[in-house]
Structure formats: structure tokens, C-alpha cells
Amino acid sequence: DTEVTQTPKHLVMGMTNKKSLKCEQHMGHRAMYWYKQKAKKPPELMFVYSYEKLSINESVPSRFSPECPNSSLLNLHLHALQPEDSALYLCASSPGVQGARSPLHFGNGTRLTVT
């Protein structure tokens, strides 16, 4: 079983909906990541939180809004998405002290479909 838990596993939403993706880890990791993965493509980094502060935003559109309420939780708030935002959204964590030099622990992802 993965140590990074993502909910929901599947989400279908309309372009006017507001929804949130959730991610939780209890490994004491201090860095958490959101990745987006389109079919047959590698994961693309969206956001990084390090010690609960946003450290990287890869020029992601504002319709995606991350939030890190505490060191164990990471949310991704979605609003007014477009059909091209349909993808697998992966959350990951790492110890945080070595950046991406540490292996990332990934969750199973949320498969998002925007209709």
C-alpha cells in the first residue's frame, strides 16, 4: 500500500464546478508536490511546498490553487477548469531536506475528467 494517500481516486467535474483534490502523508516528510500527468506523457511538476510554504509554482494557471494546511496535508483546489485539464494528478512527498535529490513517494493519483 502506498504511504501517500490521495482522494478521490476518480473525479468528473463540469467546467463551472469547484472541487478539491486531497493528499495526505504520515511519513514526517516536509516537502510535498503536485504533478499533472497526461496520457502517455511523463509527470509534469505543478507545485512544491517545502516546510508548508509554496516554494515552486511552475506557472500553473490560477484555476488551480494549492493549499498546505499542515505538514501532512496537501490540497489542490480546482475552479473553472477546461477539458484539456483532464489528466492524472499525482501527489508526492519527500523528506524535504535535500530537495529532489531524495526519492519521491507518490500517491496513486486522482484521475480527473473535465466535461
- Pick the closer one to other proteins by CB: 80 or 108: 108
d(CA 27, CA 88): 23
**Which span (12-20, 60-68, 70-78, 106-114) binds other proteins, by CB under 8 A?**
106-114
Options 16-24, 60-68, 76-84, 95-103: segment touching other proteins (CB under 8 A): 95-103
Render the burial of 37-56: b for 16+ CB within 10 Å, e for the rest: eeeeeebeebbbbbeeeeee
Minimum Å distance from CB 112 to other proteins? Answer: 12
- For 77-105, give the DSSP string: EEES--GGG-EEEEEEEE-SSSGGGSPPE
**Interface contacts to other proteins, rule CB under 8 A:** 2, 31, 33, 40-43, 45, 48, 50, 55-56, 88, 90, 92, 94, 98-101, 103-109, 111
